[in-house]
Structure 1
Amino acid sequence: MKKLDEEKIIEIFQKKNQRKSFVPEDVEVFRIGNELCISSIDTLVESTDVPPQMKFSEIARKSVVSAVSDFAAKGVRPSFAIISVIIPRKVSLKKVNELASGFANAAREFNIKILGGDTNEGKEIAISVALFGFAKKIAKRSGAKINDRIFVTGEFGNSAAGLQILLRGKKADNTFKKTAINSVKKPQCRLEFGVKNQNKFSSSMDSSDGLSTCLNEMAKQSNKQFFIDKLPANPKLFEFASKNGLDPVDLIFNGGEEYEIVFTASPRNVKKLQVFAKKSKTNLIEIGRVIQGKGVVLLNNDKKIILKDKGWRHFK
């Protein structure tokens, strides 16, 4: 009998709803008249997503950022949101006001209209953000072609390092400590980059479950091999890992909690992508290329290793 995990639970739900050929995506797509309606829902849970040091305004914003990041990877601008909030009875009026301010500021940041939602009582904070938008098409996880280049829109490993600092007291120099903690408490997503460059993506995915998860899923759906020859990390991450006895490759590929876009693109589009990245101050990093084969192979210290999917999985 297969172990009950997130993948198995989703499989059960899909079969009961008669969706036997379900292919996972970052968003759901359905047609209303001549338009495609794009929707997604993302849930933040205090015990798994929130370190104790986060302000309530930061918690609210992070819940919106994690949802918007799915739209960014598909190249779609969200228009509307419905938000469900579970709040413990002990929460003060001041903290409720902080939550409300966090939602309002995030709505302004991403130009989203919050239509309403639901409020309930529970043992810990849980926030579900449902987004809706419209588009003519989306960038899918499949579609990578041989010789396409593989890109990410920012550094990886900072969030994993930040959690090690916040939760386990790991040591870091002041500059990297600030970068790492900010990546946890004030995450960024790349909505404008995704919306402006969707037509240049041959495949694309949100990275929040971990870079190894992303790369393996995209390679699988595209039926190609992803060859990775560059680690997209802050040089200070390697110093941090060495100082604290941590594996930098694990932090970079399996930590999760980054809200970057991972995508493939034809070599003919690389220059245009680089120009837009410079103009928009996006840290675009080319990390590899698509080749014939299956899975993900990482070249690290002149050694080729199979990069397995070891990103975040609920119930794992």
Structure 2
Amino acid sequence: MTKLDEKEIIKIFQQSFGNKKFVAEDVETFKLGKNLGVIKTDTLIESTDIPPEMKLSEAARKSVVACVSDFAAKGVRPLYCIISVSIPRKYSRAKVKEIADGFRDASREFGFRILGGDTNEGKELVLSVSFFGISDKIVHRGGAKIGDSIIVTGSFGNVTAGLRHLLERKKAEKKFAKKIKRAVFHPIPRLDFGVSAGRYLSSAMDSSDGLSTTLVEMAAKSKKKFVIANLPKDPELERFATQNGLDAVDLVFNGGEEYEIVGTVPQKNLKKIKQIAKARKISLIEIGRVEKGHGVFLADKNMRIESGGWLHFR
């Protein structure tokens, strides 16, 4: 495993299955009459995905958020969910109930129905969720056109800052510390925005693997050059980075678990996209433009951005 990363492992499975039509997307789709069945699965593991101080109810919600954010980026509303839980023998009734209540509250928050699932005993807590939805189409990762604006639904770097604050005791001003811890414990996927805005986007992707990884993937799939002129970060992040000897640009591009939507928008649709965002109290940020060429670049430094976000087994 030490010599393989997540993408290489996926390729091994893909080759074994003989699936030549496999296309990397945030969700998988299949024909369902005149529509598409949309499915997604994700797994949360206690030792790698649940930071200190996170409540079990928040962990259950986080496992849901990972899938809901993928649906949001594709412009699809998840309808049904199946849950698989592996729970240590030592867990009390109260702990199990907290997990169950976390799933229940998430289903109410995002409007899906839990159909059932599977329960197992394990050495550590493992939560797996599978979501199902129906749509006539999805917004693909590729599809950006020259002249499109590149937009994101929120700022980046706060989750990584929050984890560095929690795990490494990096210094943070009181107000910002509260903000970045909330970003870790209570991420907000942009579901309503994604469902409403999908028809106006030329391409989109969930950003949970990191902004750099997301932009590089979208640019490659679109066979275009993405030029980033505006870093989507809070002013406090710069101070946090300076105080702790960190690079704010690295925090913005190479973190993960932000669960924002990164999209490209034709200029004729930009006003409509902004209206949709404003109606949902989302701070939409234009970060750049799509140009002829390949790769992702910082405009002011003409520096190429490589994929440096989250990747399992790396």
Give TM class, smaller chain.
over 0.9
Name the count of aligned residue pairs. 313
Alpha-carbon distance between aligned partners in 2 of 1:77 and 1:288, rounded to the nearest angstrom:
28
Task: Give the 5 Å matches for 1:196-211.
Answer: 196-211=196-211
1:230 aligns with 2:230: yes
1:60 aligns with 2:57: no
Alpha-carbon distance between aligned partners in 2 of 1:245 and 1:20, rounded to the nearest angstrom:
46
- Which residue is equivalent to 2:122? 122
State the Cα RMSD in Å.
Answer: 1.1
TM-score, normalised via structure 1 length: 0.97
Q: In 1, are the aligned partners of 2:205 and 2:218 still within 8 Å (CA)?
A: yes
Amino acid in structure 2 at the alignment position of 1:304: N
User: Where in structure 1 do 4 or more consecutive aligned residues deviate above 3 Å?
Assistant: none
Alpha-carbon distance between aligned partners in 2 of 1:20 and 1:32, rounded to the nearest angstrom:
21
- Which residue is equivalent to 1:269? 269
- Which residue is equivalent to 1:171? 171
Alpha-carbon distance between aligned partners in 1 of 2:20 and 2:307, rounded to the nearest angstrom:
24
- Which residue is equivalent to 2:294? 294
Deviation at 1:27, TM superposition (A): 0.3
Alpha-carbon distance between aligned partners in 1 of 2:231 and 2:15, rounded to the nearest angstrom:
39
Q: 1:36 to 1:42 in 2, by over 3 A?
A: same
- Which residue is equivalent to 1:72? 72
Alpha-carbon distance between aligned partners in 2 of 1:298 and 1:131, rounded to the nearest angstrom:
36
Deviation at 1:3, TM superposition (A): 3.8
Deviation at 1:278, TM superposition (A): 1.2
Deviation at 1:35, TM superposition (A): 2.0
- Which residue is equivalent to 1:304? 302
TM-score, normalised via structure 2 length: 0.98
Name whichever of 9-18 and 69-78 sits farther off.
9-18
Q: Which segments of 5 or more consecutive residues in structure 1 lack a partner in the other structure?
A: none
Deviation at 1:22, TM superposition (A): 2.2
- Which residue is equivalent to 1:314? 312
Task: Give the 5 Å matches for 1:7-22.
Answer: 7-22=7-22
Q: Deviations over 1:248-268 (max 9, x none)?
A: 111111110100000001011
Alpha-carbon distance between aligned partners in 2 of 1:47 and 1:294, rounded to the nearest angstrom:
38
Alpha-carbon distance between aligned partners in 2 of 1:122 and 1:285, rounded to the nearest angstrom:
43
Alpha-carbon distance between aligned partners in 2 of 1:28 and 1:92, rounded to the nearest angstrom:
36
Amino acid in structure 1 at the alignment position of 2:100: A
Between the aligned residues of both structures, percent identity stands at: 58
Alpha-carbon distance between aligned partners in 2 of 1:49 and 1:289, rounded to the nearest angstrom:
34
1:148 aligns with 2:148: yes
Name whichever of 115-124 and 76-85 sits farther off.
115-124
Amino acid in structure 2 at the alignment position of 1:305: M
Alpha-carbon distance between aligned partners in 1 of 2:49 and 2:277, rounded to the nearest angstrom:
29
Alpha-carbon distance between aligned partners in 1 of 2:31 and 2:38, rounded to the nearest angstrom:
9
Amino acid in structure 2 at the alignment position of 1:94: A
Alpha-carbon distance between aligned partners in 2 of 1:231 and 1:124, rounded to the nearest angstrom:
38
Q: In 1, are the aligned partners of 2:35 and 2:137 still within 8 Å (CA)?
A: no
